[in-house]
Structure 1
Amino acid sequence: MPSNSHSERRRFSRADFHGSAELDWQGQRFLVQLLDLSLKGALLEPPADWQGNTGDAGRLHLRLGEPAQIDMEVELAHRHADRAGFHCRRIDIDSLGHLRRLLELNLQDPNLTERELQQLLDDWVGN
């Protein structure tokens, strides 16, 4: 079967995660509703007064409890109606560890999370 770029595109599992997060965007901080997370990004429900254009960057902060939190630099990938999808551009090692553990617990498949983490690391090293 011939392959194309769509079939070769790596997919990352998403974990439903409904809760509040903060989005630093163009000098303002917005309270957003987080809908799901993956190793590659997040889907949010931003407030009605939030403005963003595809490709714009900001920072997402998810507090899991003291002192655990996930902080990532994000880029707006798409926006449809009341949802906005963000691609993770950068994440620190501590946040990545917390995100990995959160995904393991929610996906209930540590092997899948480990494979996806390896894919992510391969992508980062390859660029």
Structure 2
Amino acid sequence: MITDKRQFCRIPFVAGSSIAWQEKRQEAELVDVSLKGALLKLDEPLPYQRGDSCTVSIELAHSDITIVFDAEIAHLRGASVGVKLTTIDIDSMIHLRNLLELNTADPEQIRKELSFLHAEE
């Protein structure tokens, strides 16, 4: 039996994004996102390694809002990169929370996860 260790629900959300790593920036497509990370699809695999630090930018269509956070490479599968959020500014966190609440059937779950995240700190 396989168990999912995630405590934060991932919300499918397609958006333009980019990942900056070792002074290089690669365009990507956001596949899904949570309060603790994201899955990005790149045009081609890059030589990232698990544990590498990076910065992720998510551009919200039809607005001037960009969610930016520092992250760590959590896993690599071909041209897909899973990242774990490490730091985020308050404005980006508010936009991320709003994005998640507006794109889930259970906004209360996002609020619970945010409370849990705050309690972890």
* Count of equivalent residues: 118
Name the structure with the higher helix share: 1
How far apart are residue 47 of structure 1 and its match? 2.8
Q: CA deviation at 1:51?
A: 1.7
Q: Indicate the residue corresponding to 1:60 in structure 2.
A: 56
Root-mean-square deviation (CA, aligned residues, Å) is 1.7
CA distance in 2: counterparts of 1:29 and 1:10, whole angstroms: 28
Offset at 1:121? 1.1
Secondary structure, aligned partner of 1:111: helix
> Is 1:77 aligned to 2:89, yes or no?
no
Listed one character per residue, the Cα deviations across residues 6-62 of structure 1 (whole Å, up to 9, x for unaligned) are 78x551011101121011111111101110000000001123152200000110011
Mapping 1:1-127, distance limit 5 Å: 11-64=7-60, 65-123=62-120, 125=121
Task: State the identity %.
Answer: 36
What SS class does the counterpart of residue 51 from structure 2 fall into? coil
CA contact (8 A) 2:17 2:29 kept: yes
> Could you tell me the TM-score, scaled by structure 1's length?
0.85
How far the C-alpha of 1:100 sits from its partner, in A, is 0.4
Q: TM-score, normalised by structure 2?
A: 0.89
Distance 2:78 2:7 in 1: 23
Question: How far 1:70 moved relative to its partner?
Answer: 0.5
4+ residue segments displaced more than 2 Å: none
